[in-house]
């Protein structure tokens, strides 16, 4: 349904970064806006309901990254995508992957419809 490639989140957004809250806020605001504009530029149709939200982090180097830290680092980007698509990010069912390194790093996002499964009565 929707595929996009986003820039690597700034190191200042990492939960392990020791930066002043003002500096972190400035980077989060800029990254959220950048991701929101990329999502908005896709001219995607209005989205409603639950969506699969696959995130593949392709780091800028071969360092080892924790998936939970990467997701926390990407929070502003995820919020920006939701802003750009006009959907509440609570509707995202998220899956995280760590891909091969890419020069400069990137975040690949794939958004698909969440299947609606009808409940079937089982009789014995």
pLDDT attached to residue 119: 52
Residue 4 near residue 44 (C-beta atoms within 8 A)? no
Q: Is 2-113 assigned to CATH 3.30.1330.70?
A: yes
What confidence tens digit (pLDDT) does each residue in 57-82 have? Answer: 999 999 999 989 999 999 999 999 99
Average pLDDT score, the chain: 90
Percent of the chain with pLDDT over 70: 93
Q: Crossing angle, helix 75-85 and helix 21-41, to 10 degrees?
A: 40
| Domain coordinates in residue numbering, the chain | 2-113
Q: Is pLDDT of 121 > 70?
A: no
């Amino acid at each position: 349904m929707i595929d996009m490639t986003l820039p690597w989140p700034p190191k200042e957004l990492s939960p392990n970064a020791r930066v002043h809250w003002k500096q972190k806020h400035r980077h989060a605001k800029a990254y959220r806006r950048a991701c929101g504009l990329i999502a908005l530029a896709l001219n995607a149709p209005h989205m409603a309901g639950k969506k699969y939200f696959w995130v593949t982090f392709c780091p800028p180097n071969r360092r080892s990254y924790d998936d939970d830290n990467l997701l926390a680092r990407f929070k502003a980007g995820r919020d920006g995508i939701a802003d750009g698509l006009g959907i509440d990010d609570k509707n995202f069912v998220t899956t995280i992957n760590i891909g091969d390194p890419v020069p400069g790093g990137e975040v690949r996002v794939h958004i698909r419809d969440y299947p609606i499964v009808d409940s079937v009565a089982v009789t014995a």
